[in-house]
Amino acid sequence: MNYIVSDNPIKVFEKQSGLIRLLIYLVEHEPINVKSVIVNTNIYSNIMYAFLQKVKKLSLISTKSDRPTHLPRNMISFTDKGRKVAEYLKKIEVMLEK
């Protein structure tokens, strides 16, 4: 597949190594609200929201409000594509740890 450099999804991961850590974390914890991810991964909130926008643009996650009250929480869930990508990343992590 021929990509223009800016359109290459791998470039997103090369520039933002925390994205891989985020996806691997979500494999074990989704669906989860954004605040919990920030607290448990120690990724700063402004960086987390940038990460979420990038993986959402790649159609790896979806977000939705979990309740219609005045204090809704944005919940993160994988798309089918995102779950497959994250599970592969988790397998790679496990292989590298051996």
pLDDT, position 3: 44
- Whether 3 maps to a domain, the answer reads no
**Could you give the 3-state DSSP secondary structure of residue 43?**
coil
- Whether 67 maps to a domain, the answer reads yes
- Total count of domains within the chain: 1
Residue numbers of the domain that contains 32? 12-97
Please report, for the domain that includes residue 49, its CATH number: 1.10.10.10
**Could you give the 3-state DSSP secondary structure of residue 41?**
helix
Structure tokens at 6: 């800016």
pLDDT, position 70: 64
Identify the band that residue 6 occupies on the pLDDT scale cut at 50, 70 and 90. low
- Whether 76 maps to a domain, the answer reads yes
- Whether 4 maps to a domain, the answer reads no
Helix locations, the chain, DSSP H: 9-15, 18-29, 34-41, 45-57, 80-97
- At 51-88, the pLDDT tens digits run 888 888 889 998 887 766 666 678 889 999 999 999 99
- Whether 54 maps to a domain, the answer reads yes
- At 16-39, the pLDDT tens digits run 777 888 888 888 888 888 888 888
- Whether 77 maps to a domain, the answer reads yes
pLDDT, position 80: 95
